[in-house]
Amino acid sequence: MDTFTSHRRVRLGRREKPAPLDLSHHYSAVTKRRMPSKIKEAYKFFQIPGILNMAGGLPNADFFPFDTLEAQAAKPERWTPSPNHPGETATSSTSSSDSAAATHIVVPKAADESDPSKKIDVTTVLQYGLAAGYPPLLSWVRQFTRENLQQDTPYKGGPDVVLTCGSTDGFSKTLDLLVDQWTEGVNDITDRPGLLCEPFVYTNILNQAQPHGVQVVTVKSNASGMAVKGPGGLEDVLANWDPSKGKRPHLMYTVTLGHNPTGIVLSVERKKEIYAVCSKYDVIIVEDEPYWYLQFPSAAVEEAKSRGLPPPTASTTPKSARSSGYPFLDSLTPSFLSLDTDGRVIRLDTFSKTVAPGCRLGWITAQPALVERFERINESTTQQPSGFVQGLISELVLGSNSSGSNTPNQRARSAFALLRSPRERAAFTGWDTSGWVRWLEGLRGTYERRVVRMCRTLDAGATLITTAPAPLSSRSDPDSEWAPLAVTKTPLYTFRWPRGGMFVWLRLHLETHPLWQAACPSSPQSPPLVLDGPALSAALMVWLTTKPFLVLVATGSMFSANDEVRQEDGWRYQRICFAAEEEGNVDLAAERFVEGVRRFWEVTDVEVVRKLLGELGPSGEVEALEEGVSSLGWYMGC
Amino acid sequence: MDTFTSHRRVRLGRREKPAPLDLSHHYSAVTKRRMPSKIKEAYKFFQIPGILNMAGGLPNADFFPFDTLEAQAAKPERWTPSPNHPGETATSSTSSSDSAAATHIVVPKAADESDPSKKIDVTTVLQYGLAAGYPPLLSWVRQFTRENLQQDTPYKGGPDVVLTCGSTDGFSKTLDLLVDQWTEGVNDITDRPGLLCEPFVYTNILNQAQPHGVQVVTVKSNASGMAVKGPGGLEDVLANWDPSKGKRPHLMYTVTLGHNPTGIVLSVERKKEIYAVCSKYDVIIVEDEPYWYLQFPSAAVEEAKSRGLPPPTASTTPKSARSSGYPFLDSLTPSFLSLDTDGRVIRLDTFSKTVAPGCRLGWITAQPALVERFERINESTTQQPSGFVQGLISELVLGSNSSGSNTPNQRARSAFALLRSPRERAAFTGWDTSGWVRWLEGLRGTYERRVVRMCRTLDAGATLITTAPAPLSSRSDPDSEWAPLAVTKTPLYTFRWPRGGMFVWLRLHLETHPLWQAACPSSPQSPPLVLDGPALSAALMVWLTTKPFLVLVATGSMFSANDEVRQEDGWRYQRICFAAEEEGNVDLAAERFVEGVRRFWEVTDVEVVRKLLGELGPSGEVEALEEGVSSLGWYMGC
């Protein structure tokens, strides 16, 4: 197995890039049965000049009730960036003086443009389209991915891209591509597919995989991410796999840049180690990166400052072989794709966090053979993302070189046409890649400032300091009226400032709570209960939602990959999101949380806790709440 | 088996509606393993007044770069309706004098509305949302479906709805719901799932089903649709099922209102017969109705008139128990849902033909238990349709009761705000259901007029009339210089005017072609060839794309459910779409087609045909073309 790829490499010279591996042995039976497209053989007939189409069953664009698609869109400078490296000034310091400044964008009914990769109009974008995506948007995403984002992919020809309806759709299609459904009692246990992931994971991935019969296999992780060596590490799990428990996993799911929920940014060094093991054991890596642009270079420095510790040694971001053309992008930690000599990385990107979750638009980057299979899957499922979002995002990013060819009547009626002079209109040519990067820099800046503010407040409230008269035995003058005070520091929670993403991951120290392991006697309404970790954790979560705290947090059990993790560790954690609230509430939310936790440690009446647990439902089951919040978290973008 | 539902009915009184059957025995293993949602148990926490959300991992709406979504939208009166019954005048005769008249619609950043089913704004529609759909749109679709479209569903409580990303997505999720993947050599033959359909079928359904291992089982059909009695009819197929060929099919796919490709509108009488057999054999009916509003009441009358035949006896549309409130809707043939006492009908609707294919928006109507499962599938795949289309369609149909609460600065910058006075703005309150129905009436009218024009032209060219001197033996006066002419009528094709949908389905009479069964000797480039039906059919298709005809049609083999149908009958048919071309080309396309067919019958040189077949690709394989055009047809809305 460890020679899986060695032959190929030996044959290749040092500078020649290898072709990506043929991974078709991993395809699901369904994927294998999907036919290749013969579209090219037929396309010539549709392209005959002057041909009239009586073949396709599609409505003529005249019958679409939308004559234009329009929007007020932000200028890329709306938000102020933060520096790419601690101590530097932001590369793009030209922030908008007016954050409300907006541009009116219009997708016209029909654009005067013959190149499909430049033509953005209602007639094409609201018509049936290509399964890979709307040509202008697909071209831009491909170019951005290959030339700016992941320009160093080391296999021959580099990766291709295919649009998705967001990364949930992307992962669903990845399961379709690679996983044969497995059912106990029907299929052989040795065929059971497995999915490698961290003990704490974006749970909806599990909700997607488990119904297919996939076995979730956790890999031990530490503060730097997934462990490779040692007991429970990746190599151990794969090398000592017991086939009687299922097929050795051939699929890994991970978020490397701002991990959800732990906030870790996986270093390139760790990525190299993980990749080598995946290559050895023929594991496909699914790298889900909704937060890739949210990396916080100031986090380590500000964390030390906030805690009065010496400044950390500066970490150097590995330089790419060549620049992306954007210092911001160059400063980010490279993706697994940059190490992907085999072509075994499937990266999921989404517009959910960069534009809006409601886009339901994203893309998959992978070796071309896999992308071709994803296109076939698209054809049989979603066909393509909605033309409404493809059109408006295309227009936002690429602008329009054409004034369109609506009828004069329609043009005259367009609010836009009346408002803007032709010169003003022509002036909007889209954000372009530079504007897109500038927008991301602004978002990163805004989130990074939130992290600093919120984490300082959390640091300040992490320890309960209580004072009490010192015990007699320790007093120097036992008869003095002025008893000295003994200061007790009780750690309520500890955490690492997030290096990326949208979350602070707090470890609670419930074992310091006065009611730790207290017995709740039975009452006429309730059975007896011992206030163990899971009970206190759930009670704290409910406590925080009560007045005057009124904050809702997610508990670690919601992100536990399996019951073992949930029971052993899940209750120890809470995940706090600093992205969802409006700007004015960020400090308030952190303050309320800190106050709520502090006051929870003052609770000494077991009945108070029992009452809180009663809020979880008639049966008082923590599980129900967790699953409920987890389901709701889905809608709330967990 | 025939007593599957009888007990339940016996127990029920005559007027009491039965509850829908529990169909969970049909769920796939994956569907069974999907967890129920516990969202309601957690929702109360998100609803606590003043609660700050640190739980959900979602960006605040302030970070969306879209401040509004806007569009120029048609008024519902843009197109002129046609009468609901032959000879009547159209119910809505108030057509727009200016077909370009449009309304500017705006989805504001934030609407001042607390009722989620009325609130339409960027803040909610571009955020993560509910798996069932955006509340205002979902409410409207539900109301329209239950109160106007299918108000008579006979089971207790009636059906529910769930939004999809169009009907391809809807059928994909139906397979996910009901079909266990089956692989030869892995699974038992007796477990192989089957799908009942007509011999000619919307082929992409097969492209979706077959990779899952589904066996396609055709049911004999005639000019009125799927046959129930007799050899090869539905009852025969199910009653005499051979289990050694797979599981008896538990799923049927059909288009009943404007069948693709045959243009048939299935009568309620036939539907009752089919439904009874499906109920007896526990078959779930998937009714895909993209063309339900395109039923052509004038077709039979105009067909008779065009052919000089006596007018047909008027068929009476069965009246619903109560009116939908719209004469247009009342005049349409009811869906299988109206007969669905068991709750075994899954109806697929789409906005692809009523608004635009690029919407990627539709809905499923089914009994609530199935709808709940579809919601769970949505959560794990597409989550929800794009907010861009949900927002703009909501705004189009429902309008906005609120002026929004953008900042004054943003409002001032809105082109819309500058253009319209508050009074004008308030005047647009959405199309509403009446406008929606009026829009559909207009589309039906436009398509129906196309049918009449195109079919008259096709009728005129259906027969090749040739004259030649009559043979001597038949002359009354053999010595006369004036030889009488013998008129020969060669039928080129026959067809029934479509009763609905977007297609004319022509039966070619290739057996009357001069080269029928002619032998093409081998040449240095080509193997020998007999000009049989498939060869002549393919050659005609290519011939029509050459100058001066320049029309592209779809061949019947593209819609053949299996190889047997393709070889025996597929080549006999061509499908002509009258929807795709712009208005000015409709007559031209029909004329070119007629001329092309006529001239094809003048081809007497086998080498001409061989050359045409050579256009199909290096190997000259008809199959490749068919699959290619079929793939392309996918993009072209086949």
Task: Using the structure block, give the residue that is written with the tokens 């571009």.
Answer: B126
- A302 assigned to some structural domain: no
Predicted local distance difference test score (pLDDT) of residue A14? 56
Q: For chain B, what's the residue count?
A: 638
Residue B521 tokens read as 């000797």
Position A497 pLDDT exceeds 60? yes
| Measured distance CA(A387)–CA(B388) in Å, rounded | 9
Given a contact cutoff of 8 angstroms between Cβ atoms, the answer to whether A128 and B636 are in contact is: yes
- B379 vs A207: CB contact, 8 Å cut-off? yes
| Measured distance CA(B110)–CA(A437) in Å, rounded | 27
- A55 vs B629: CB contact, 8 Å cut-off? yes
Structure confidence at residue A523 as a pLDDT band (50, 70, 90): confident
Position A433 pLDDT exceeds 70? yes
Question: Residues A251, A373: one domain?
Answer: yes
* B15 touching chain A per CB within 8 A: no
Question: Residues A599, A456: one domain?
Answer: yes
User: Going by C-beta distance under 8 Å and a sequence separation of 6 or more, which residues neighbour residue A202?
Assistant: A255, A260, A261, A288, A559, A638
Residue B118 tokens read as 């009325």
- B478 assigned to some structural domain: no
CA–CA distances in Å: residue B274 to residues A540, A635, B283: 59, 40, 10
Residue B550 sits in a domain whose CATH number is 3.90.1150
Which residues numbered 473-492 in A keep a CB inside 8 Å of some CB on B? Answer: none
Reported as type and span, the H/E element at residue A67 is strand A66-74
Distance of alpha carbon B39 from the chain centroid: 34
Question: Residues A188, A280: one domain?
Answer: yes
| Measured distance CA(A90)–CA(A93) in Å, rounded | 6
Report the SS3 class of residue A427.
helix
For chain B, first and last CA: distance in Å?
A: 38
Q: Which residues of chain B have pLDDT under 50?
A: 1-7, 9-10, 13, 402-426, 619-620
Report the SS3 class of residue B626.
helix
| Measured distance CA(B570)–CA(B496) in Å, rounded | 17
User: Going by C-beta distance under 8 Å and a sequence separation of 6 or more, which residues neighbour residue B249?
Assistant: B193, B194, B195, B196, B215, B217, B237, B238, B241, B283
Would you call the peptide bond into B199 cis, given omega within 30 degrees of 0 as the criterion?
A: no
Domain boundary among B383, B411, B446: B383
Which residues numbered 370-409 in A keep a CB inside 8 Å of some CB on B? Answer: 379-392, 396, 407, 409
For B544, name the nearest residue in chain A, comparing CA atoms only.
Answer: A51
- A552 vs B55: CB contact, 8 Å cut-off? yes
Nearest CB to B57: which of A34, A420, A502?
A: A502
Question: Residues B379, B495: one domain?
Answer: no
Domain boundary among B355, B383, B411: B383
Mutant choice from A386, A409, A418, A578 vs B, greatest count of B C-beta within 10 A: A386
Nearest CB to B579: which of A58, A575, A636?
A: A58
- B588 vs A439: CB contact, 8 Å cut-off? no
- A380 vs B204: CB contact, 8 Å cut-off? yes
Q: What angle do CA A439, A444, A450 make, to 5 degrees?
A: 135
| Measured distance CA(B290)–CA(B301) in Å, rounded | 24
Nearest CB to B635: which of A62, A130, A578?
A: A130
Residue B616 with chain A: CB contacts under 8 Å: 41
Position A169 pLDDT exceeds 70? yes
SS (H, E, C) A155-193: CCCCCEEEEECCHHHHHHHHHHHHCCCCCECCECHHHCC
**Residue B318: what residue type?**
P
- A250 assigned to some structural domain: yes
Residue B558 DSSP one-character state: G
Predicted local distance difference test score (pLDDT) of residue B152? 76
- A41 assigned to some structural domain: no
Enter the ipTM: 0.92
| Measured distance CA(A88)–CA(B124) in Å, rounded | 37
What's the domain range around A336?
129-295+332-381
Predicted local distance difference test score (pLDDT) of residue A424? 43
Question: Residues B375, B505: one domain?
Answer: no
Question: Residues B363, B511: one domain?
Answer: no
- A577 vs B42: CB contact, 8 Å cut-off? no
Question: Residues B241, B359: one domain?
Answer: yes
Which residues numbered 162-191 in A keep a CB inside 8 Å of some CB on B? Answer: 165-166, 168-169, 172, 180-181, 183, 186-187
Given a contact cutoff of 8 angstroms between Cβ atoms, the answer to whether A181 and A213 are in contact is: yes
Predicted local distance difference test score (pLDDT) of residue B578? 95
- A432 assigned to some structural domain: no
User: How crowded is residue A452: how many other Cβ atoms within 10 Å of its Cβ?
Assistant: 21
Residue A193 with chain B: CB contacts under 8 Å: none
Reported as type and span, the H/E element at residue B366 is strand B362-366
Helices (H) and strands (E) in chain B, counts: 22, 21
Given a contact cutoff of 8 angstroms between Cβ atoms, the answer to whether A626 and A558 are in contact is: yes
Q: What is the pLDDT of residues A528-585, one digit of tens each?
A: 889 999 999 999 999 999 999 999 999 999 999 999 999 999 999 999 999 999 999 9
Residue B99 with chain A: CB contacts under 8 Å: none
**Residue B191: what residue type?**
D
Question: Residues A365, A498: one domain?
Answer: no
Residue B170 sits in a domain whose CATH number is 3.40.640.10
Tell me the pLDDT of chain A averaged across its residues.
Answer: 88
| Measured distance CA(B165)–CA(B362) in Å, rounded | 6
Residue A500 with chain B: CB contacts under 8 Å: none
Position A346 pLDDT exceeds 70? yes
- B377 assigned to some structural domain: yes
Which is nearest to B257 in space by CA: B283, B291, B280?
B291
For the segment A457-469, the average pLDDT, to the nearest whole number, is 92
| Measured distance CA(A176)–CA(A43) in Å, rounded | 28
- A46 vs B552: CB contact, 8 Å cut-off? yes
Beta strands A221-222 and A66-74 are: unpaired
Question: Residues B200, B341: one domain?
Answer: yes
Q: What is the pLDDT of residues A384-432, one digit of tens each?
A: 999 999 999 999 999 865 444 443 334 333 444 344 444 444 456 799 9
- B142 assigned to some structural domain: yes
Question: Residues B377, B494: one domain?
Answer: no
Q: Which residue has the higher pLDDT, A250 or B413?
A: A250
Could you tell me the sign of the dihedral formed by the alpha carbons of A249, A255, A260, A263, in that order?
A: positive
Helices (H) and strands (E) in chain A, counts: 22, 21
- A429 assigned to some structural domain: no
A–B interface: beta-carbon pairs under 8 A: 527
Question: Residues A462, A611: one domain?
Answer: yes
Say how many domains are in chain B.
Answer: 2
Given a contact cutoff of 8 angstroms between Cβ atoms, the answer to whether B405 and B62 are in contact is: no
For chain A, first and last CA: distance in Å?
A: 38
| Measured distance CA(A435)–CA(A445) in Å, rounded | 15
Predicted local distance difference test score (pLDDT) of residue A478? 63
- B637 vs A166: CB contact, 8 Å cut-off? no
Residue B159 tokens read as 């059906």
Question: Residues A183, A282: one domain?
Answer: yes
Domain boundary among A349, A365, A381: A381
Residues above pLDDT 70, as percent of chain A:
85
Which is nearest to B103 in space by CA: A66, A70, A73?
A66
SS (H, E, C) B135-186: HHHHHHHHHHHHHHHCCCCCCCCCCEEEEECCHHHHHHHHHHHHCCCCCECC
DSSP result, A360-418: --EEEEE-HHHHHHHHHHHHHTT-SS-HHHHHHHHHHHH--S------HHHHHH-HHHH
Beta strands A573-577 and A503-508 are: antiparallel
